[in-house]
Structure 1
Amino acid sequence: MELIERKRCVIVAAGTISDLDILKKNIFYDDYIIAADAGYTKLKSAGIEPHLIVGDFDSSDIPENDVELITLSPVKDYTDTEFAVMQAVERGYGEILIIGGLGGRIDHSMANIAVMLRYKKQGVNITMVDENHRVFTLANESKVIVKGNYYVSVFAPDGECKVKLEGFYYNNDELTLYPDSSVGVSNEIVDDNAKITALSGTALVIFSNLNM
């Protein structure tokens, strides 16, 4: 499989991955790949070898190969995916992509979003993707987004957040978001490029219906 050259850490978790092409499209040539528990079976099916496998393996068999393996106790204060993030950060990666962190159990999806928020405060950028979504955070920074056939929603899960929206159907020079508000849901890009600026607080940005 031909991969594109880029440096970051990709974590493949045990969440829903219904199409293995998402792995082949999102894993690049020089990514450092961590399989979290049953995420290894997804990688194996796609013909991709990870550099590290972690997990308590309560939902899959322990792999038998020469890849570095860290076996965890099922009784612990973090998920297998969070431990994979911890390992990525310890190994020096500040850019992390999680595949398989959404879908399936909503409690695990929420836990992964919580991990994204905590590590954002430490300067680590975590993005999660599945077949229909891309999720990332912004804090005191801007992101330019290319027009596409998808919805863009912005939330404030970590407290009050102010954002500036440009190039959208619903523009706003200073939109205040709160954790208990849905005002930022289902916006659309109308210009060739749009821009989201997190003026204060941490914004959670979700692209939805990527394949609609």
Structure 2
Amino acid sequence: MNINILAGGPLERLPSFENYKTEEDLWIGVDKGVFTLLSQNIQPYRAFGDFDSVTEEEWALIELNVESIHRFQPEKDETDMEHALNWALSENPKKIRLFGATGGRMDHFFANVQLLIKPLNNNEEISVEIIDIQNKIFMTKPGTYSIQTDSDYQYISFIPISGEVEGLTLKGFKYPLTDCHIPISSTLCISNELVDDSGTFSYKQGILMVIRSNDL
């Protein structure tokens, strides 16, 4: 099972959902994202949020069409997205995808990016990624990873997030590296590309944010 979570980010930042509407994909709506799912004829399995960004008419439609709604007060310690992600992690899916998590307010964007660290801190082997029309973002802990060519996301960047990254090795890339030290302020690993159908990256210490991007 995969769990797709749609938040209320700008509609123009959303990719096509056609590749994510399979029998394995369960859809969750967050705040305005619930209404967006209904508008695209996707049935939300659950809804999370304080729903302060929807109109009375939109809320009435959500109440009518979604069986399981988790509604919170606006004054709370977790964001609506974090509530939804916590529930998704508890279901132990193969993958969690966050949509509608970029664009608009920068504080919301950085909060959503920060949430990608949560399963790593909890030692959970669940892949969580943010996806929009131009980017895929995910976090990794030390290890060795295979990465495939994707024409929709040509460029690959590696950004140290928690502590300095030690021993970064890139194979199959236009700009390879061998056992490299990457300080947290470094931009050395921005905008790389695969030269083969697949490549690998590995490292020994730190947390890396991996961003796959393309030009629009």
**TM superposition score normalised by structure 2:** 0.87
CA distance in 2, matches of 1:90, 1:109: 23
Partner of 2:209: 204
Read off the aligned partner of 1:125 and give its amino acid letter.
S
How many residues in Structure 1 have an aligned counterpart in Structure 2? 205
Further displaced range: 11-20 or 50-59: 11-20
Indicate which of 136, 139, 142 corresponds to 1:137: 139
CA distance in 1, matches of 2:92, 2:188: 37
Partner of 1:105: 105
Read off the aligned partner of 1:181 and give its amino acid letter.
S
% identical aligned pairs: 28
Q: Secondary structure at the match of 2:130?
A: strand
Partner of 2:90: 90
What is the deviation of 1:107? Answer: 1.2
CA distance in 1, matches of 2:178, 2:51: 48
CA distance in 2, matches of 1:118, 1:147: 26
Read off the aligned partner of 1:41 and give its amino acid letter.
F
Q: How does 1:172-191 map to 2 (within 5 A)?
A: 172-191=177-196
Q: Secondary structure at the match of 2:162?
A: coil
Cα separation, partners in 2 of 1:17 and 1:28, compared to 1, 3 Å: farther
Partner of 2:81: 81
CA contact (8 A) 1:142 1:198 kept: no
Q: Secondary structure at the match of 1:201?
A: strand
Aligned-residue RMSD, C-alpha? 1.9
What is the deviation of 1:119? Answer: 2.0
Indicate which of 33, 43, 48 corresponds to 2:37: 43
Q: Secondary structure at the match of 1:22?
A: coil
CA contact (8 A) 1:17 1:130 kept: no
CA contact (8 A) 1:10 1:27 kept: no
**TM superposition score normalised by structure 1:** 0.88
Report runs of 4+ in structure 1 exceeding 4 Å deviation.
none
Q: How does 1:17-166 map to 2 (within 5 A)?
A: 17-18=11-12, 22-61=16-55, 62=59, 63-65=62-64, 66-93=66-93, 95-122=95-122, 123=124, 124-139=126-141, 140-146=143-149, 148=151, 150-162=154-166, 163-166=168-171
CA contact (8 A) 1:52 1:68 kept: yes
CA distance in 1, matches of 2:150, 2:101: 25
What is the deviation of 1:20? Answer: 6.0
